[in-house]
Amino acid sequence: MRGIDSAYVSYHPDLAAPGAVATVGSFAELAVANGVPRLVLLSGRGEPEAELGEQAVRDAGADWTILRSTWFSQNFSEDYMLEAVLGGEVALPAGDVPEPFVDADDIADVAVAALAEDGHAGQVYELTGPRPLTFADAVEEIATATGREIRYVPVSIDEYKAALAEHGVPAEFVSLLTYLFTEVLDGRNAHRPTVSGAPSAASPGTSASTRGTPRPRASGMPATGRERNGPPRTGVAEPGERRADHVPRDRRADRR
């Protein structure tokens, strides 16, 4: 780590997963001990368990910035929902709770700003997309944008867990997804964060709020330079096309 000025920290499959706090905390301590002065942590919006990982990074003594993200739009196009989207049926226990899905490219822009620019130490940024959508709404918009017949099918959490087990999903992933769909997706994140005095260069398609020390650049929100005002981006492959980033249904991970 010598010679490194900053590091981006992301724990797979989720910062709320068992073992995340110890691993992230150990890495943060190691980074600080080797002279890395700045750490930017990807966290989860509305996840009390993930906040324990945030505290571990704070305790390491680095200049920290925390990015609390909502659900990725790319889950529909590059992750565990892709196969279902291509198959024309997305069955989830998500009910009618809205979620302001965020584009991962926008998160990357904010992360780069926090890593490379001054003025973001000690800040917590909550990142969302332009408007809340239910999972059914998101699927409908993807169907419209792609010209495909794709339907959303609501299922119970027990039915979902049984389907995951049938496809050989590891028990720890089943537990994590159960937590996300039954606890985190309860409406606590249905709103977009309130931004006061946001810089004019900030993307109207990505919202952020800040907490912590007095904020530079009016709100202190990193400018993303991207506009994401439409439905979740899909980039869906054509039927039969294999993608390098495709995750088969039997290896579903988290929503981040």
Rounded average pLDDT over 169-182:
92
Contact residues for 164 (Cβ-Cβ < 8 A; gap 6+): 173, 174, 177, 252
Residue 144 within a domain: yes
Residue 36 within a domain: no
Residue 228 within a domain: yes
Provide the 3-class DSSP secondary structure of residue 6: strand
DSSP strand pairing (210-212 vs 6-9): unpaired
Q: Which domain holds residue 152?
A: 70-235+243-251
27-36, 93-102, 166-175, 235-244: least confidently modelled range? 235-244
pLDDT in tens, 128-164: 999 999 999 999 999 999 999 999 999 999 999 999 9
Residue 101 within a domain: yes
pLDDT in tens, 197-232: 222 233 334 455 433 322 222 223 333 333 333 344
Domain with residue 205: its CATH number is 3.90.25.10
Q: What is the pLDDT of residue 1?
A: 80
| Mean pLDDT, all residues of the chain | 80
Of the two residues 223 and 1, the one the predictor is more confident about is 1
Contact residues for 237 (Cβ-Cβ < 8 A; gap 6+): 82, 86, 243, 246
The confidence band for 194, taking pLDDT boundaries of 50, 70 and 90, is: low
Residue 174 within a domain: yes
Residue 98 within a domain: yes
* Whether pLDDT at 237 is above 50: no
Rounded average pLDDT over 169-176:
91
**CA pair distance 124, 109, nearest whole angstrom:** 15
Residue 49 within a domain: no
The confidence band for 84, taking pLDDT boundaries of 50, 70 and 90, is: very high
* Whether pLDDT at 66 is above 80: yes
Percent of the chain with pLDDT over 70: 75
The confidence band for 36, taking pLDDT boundaries of 50, 70 and 90, is: very high
Joined together, the tokens standing for residue 18 give: 């068992």
Provide the 3-class DSSP secondary structure of residue 28: helix
Of the two residues 191 and 38, the one the predictor is more confident about is 38
Of the two residues 231 and 85, the one the predictor is more confident about is 85
Contact by Cβ (8 Å): 29, 23: no
Q: What is the pLDDT of residue 80?
A: 80
Instruction: State how many domains the chain has.
Output: 1
pTM, 2 dp: 0.77
Residue 32 within a domain: no
